[in-house]
Structure 1
């Protein structure tokens, strides 16, 4: 069984987290059943970008990288405290350890900025939010990443990044494919009504 940590900082964007819960839920209950997703919060109760409240299954202080095969990280909004929470030293160290162990890290939109802040994108290809005059992509470049500005999803070895919320399902399916098989990912896509 492959285990995925869905890391939820305060201020995360709900839609970007829900794609992981749905894709991996469908795989677990309707398809081959080889994956389990665990929601891990930076605190016991989280507020999403627009005040949707979430209670994660576990908190960061209760888990170790060794328990998981992959890390999934949604983006969020500065006004909702996303960067304040996600740039914490324990979050950044958690990401560094996933990369050190060669485990997959999948982020959506500005989730890549958290990955970049950890230092693991130094000299590696990545992308992040592509609107707002490229401000967030410039920020990621200043963190040492080689930003690919016009590519919706960028995969560099074990790290998946994407450039806005519209790519959310693409990232979730890319992670499912990496943890299972292309055939299985396409099967889940078809079950969910996507053309595969």
Structure 2
């Protein structure tokens, strides 16, 4: 591709491994292939690499892929994403890289952002990138993953974890959440939200992957907590008590709290904090309101309270966040999605 002046899109390399899941391979291409700037230039360049010279890569479906780039192309990437694969015996059984995978990863430049989708985290862990760091993977693999890689701080209750230059996601569709988060981190909420709208997915999902773990399912004839959540979202700027939310569903506080956790994977209080943080982010990016006004509009009692919650959730202060994202650029900001705090 040829670009004008100093403009260069962020280069995203997707590493296609034999036995890969086509759905997960397609997620980065779909999400990163959409963002454009005001001049309609693509903000990302996405390309697919193999651990071997260009050619055939098998999938877990009834078709194969022709991958146009070999491992050397990883050296030009700003971000490398590793989707899950079902044919990496040494990685999944012994926790070590295959020789060709180790050689391929040696092309990755220091400082390159690394990300995994689902059990692609095994590759990052086997390569040592996750030692001493928080990470997640598909909930069904979390216990085994922790046993195999004891140096990794595994959190099985989140949709993704952003640890700065290394990011991991939970199973399958959580890769969409992770990629949208990276777009949001790189170019701001407005760009990420537009991609989400085009892709027909929510820009931010509530809760973590604990809500998808198999457990006794509530009687479908019983009310859910959806009405209470919608009611609360329209009143984030007001004080909201747990009993008020429970009343929307005509439930006792105890029943409502249990049902809410079953559905969302987190408590009502944790969910409210998440929504208020998201509302504060939107206001900081899109308005010139003072910090006190943003705090009031998003439901925090004071600017100091808002500062504390944003610092915990995003790793930066409200002032730093506004300065970063009103200019549509962004540093690494560690954080987790769906983490009970």
Q: TM-score, normalised by structure 1?
A: 0.83
Q: Is the 8 A contact 1:2 1:69 kept in 2?
A: yes
1:92 to 91, 102, 106: 102
Aligned-residue CA RMSD in angstroms?
2.6
Mapped partners of 1:155, 1:11: distance in 2: 26
Mapped partners of 1:38, 1:174: distance in 2: 19
Q: Is the 8 A contact 2:142 2:156 kept in 1?
A: no
SS in 1 for 2:139: coil
Which piece of structure 1 moves more, 145-154 or 86-95?
86-95
Q: Is the 8 A contact 1:92 1:115 kept in 2?
A: no
Mapped partners of 2:32, 2:66: distance in 1: 19
1:102-133 CA distance string (max 9 Å, x none): 22111111100000000111100001121158
Provide the residue aligned with 1:152 in structure 2: 159
Unpaired segments of 5 or more residues in structure 2?
1-8, 204-341
Which piece of structure 1 moves more, 109-118 or 158-167?
158-167
Provide the residue aligned with 1:170 in structure 2: 177
Unpaired segments of 5 or more residues in structure 1?
none
1:2 to 10, 20, 26: 10
Instruction: Indicate whether 1:189 and 2:208 are aligned.
Output: no
Mapped partners of 2:181, 2:139: distance in 1: 20
After TM superposition, give the deviation of residue 95 of structure 1 in Å: 4.1
Does 1 or 2 have the higher relative contact order (CA < 8 Å, sep 6+)? 1
Q: Which has the larger radius of gyration?
A: 2
Greater fraction strand: 1
SS in 2 for 1:72: strand
Provide the residue aligned with 1:102 in structure 2: 111
SS in 1 for 2:35: helix
1:65-85 CA distance string (max 9 Å, x none): 2x11100110121xxx23458
2:144 to 135, 142, 145: 135
Q: Is the 8 A contact 1:20 1:172 kept in 2?
A: yes
Closer/same/farther in 2, CA of residues 42 and 109 from structure 1, 3 Å limit: same
Provide the residue aligned with 1:54 in structure 2: 65
Mapped partners of 1:94, 1:129: distance in 2: 24
1:45-68 CA distance string (max 9 Å, x none): 0111234201112111x4242x11
Mapped partners of 1:163, 1:83: distance in 2: 20
2:33 to 25, 44, 54: 25
Q: TM-score, normalised by structure 2?
A: 0.50
Paired positions, count: 188
